[in-house]
Amino acid sequence: WHPPGSSSRGSWKMNGWKKTDTEVVCSPPTAYIDFTQQKLDPKIAVPAQNGYKVTNGSDELIEQKVAHALAEGLGVIACIGKKLHAREAGITEKVVFEQTKVITDKVKDWSKVILADKPVWDIGTSKTATPQQAQEVHKKLQGWLKSNVSDAVAQSTHIIYEGSVTRVTCKELVSQPDVDGFLLGGSSLKSEFMDINAKQ
Ligand SMILES: *[C@@H]1O[C@H](CO)[C@@H](O)[C@H](O)[C@H]1NC(C)=O
Ligand SMILES: *[C@@H]1O[C@H](CO)[C@@H](O)[C@H](O)[C@H]1NC(C)=O
């Protein structure tokens, strides 16, 4: 990494010998890792420039990110419920409410916030939530907002669904009273993305 305006070049000077046991690496910005790997000789390793200190994030990290984004005037789509090892029955509500509370503490202007519900039980499994299960969670989230924030915020805040959605399931999902739209993962990479949007 170089500070803006600086640059450096490798200078081999008179060191013209060839070594066969030298390991060469090229470390580009993260967005270019795949590109760089494709272009370079496979003998050259492509390490990342940066990493994160734990395997995955935490509620506090989300809190800080939301606070920072809002303070900078950005809007956020806050994903609720994406928590591993939260598959055991009965703890969905606890997880969802805890995460919503963490975000809520940082929000002053709710017009900048969309909540996305990611069903906690379908992560890493082949199980998908039914439209009724999605509705149940969205209704609980709305109820949470109503009693813990305000009626107006509960009415106006969009709660979108981030579970598995297909061209077949989208109609029934979006007909649920408290499902206000979708945040699409895998299906946004397929042609059915157009069908899902067309049906709304
Ligand atoms: C996320 O972090 C937890 C706690 O460190 C760990 O047990 C879990 O395996 C991690 N999940 C993934 C997908 O890396
Ligand atoms: C309000 O928030 C608390 C703390 O998260 C929660 O236990 C309670 O169930 C919420 N109220 C409703 C109606 O969801």
Average pLDDT along the chain: 84
* Confidence at residue 76, expressed as pLDDT on a 0 to 100 scale: 93
Q: Is residue 23 domain-resident?
A: no
Q: pLDDT by residue (tens digit) across 105-142?
A: 889 999 999 999 988 666 555 667 789 989 998 999 99
**Could you list the residue range(s) of the whole structural domain that residue 132 is in?**
58-195
Confidence of residue 187 (pLDDT cuts 50, 70, 90): confident
Q: Is residue 86 domain-resident?
A: yes
From the CA of 124, give the closest atom in ligand 1.
Answer: 13
**Which mutation among 97, 140, 149, 178 tests ligand 2's pocket best, with the greatest number of atoms within 8 A of CB?**
97
Q: Is residue 141 domain-resident?
A: yes
Q: pLDDT by residue (tens digit) across 134-171?
A: 999 899 999 999 999 999 999 999 999 988 888 888 99
Q: Are 101 and 148 in contact (CB under 8 A)?
A: yes
Q: How far is the CA of 111 from the centre of ligand 2 (A)?
A: 21
- Domain total for the chain? 1
- The span from the CA of 167 to the CA of 161, in Å, is 14
For the chain, the distance separating the N- and C-terminal CA atoms, rounded to the nearest angstrom, is 46
Q: Is residue 91 domain-resident?
A: yes
Residue nearest to atom 11 of ligand 2 (CA): 144
Q: Residue 82: nearest ligand to its CA? A: 1
CATH code where residue 81 lies: 3.20.20.70
Q: Ligand 2: does its nearest atom lie under 6 Å from the Cβ of 95?
A: no
Q: Ligand 2: does its nearest atom lie under 6 Å from the Cβ of 110?
A: no
Confidence of residue 199 (pLDDT cuts 50, 70, 90): very low
Q: Is residue 174 domain-resident?
A: yes
Of 59 and 102, the structure prediction assigns the larger pLDDT to: 102
Q: Ligand 2: does its nearest atom lie under 6 Å from the Cβ of 39?
A: no
Q: Is residue 70 domain-resident?
A: yes
Q: Ligand 2: does its nearest atom lie under 6 Å from the Cβ of 151?
A: no
> Model-level pTM greater than 0.85?
no
Q: Is residue 135 domain-resident?
A: yes
Q: How far is the CA of 24 from the centre of ligand 2 (A)?
A: 55
* Confidence at residue 8, expressed as pLDDT on a 0 to 100 scale: 65
Q: How far is the CA of 173 from the centre of ligand 2 (A)?
A: 25
Query: Which region among 24-28, 66-70, 120-124 has the lowest average model confidence (pLDDT)?
Result: 120-124
Q: Is residue 20 domain-resident?
A: no
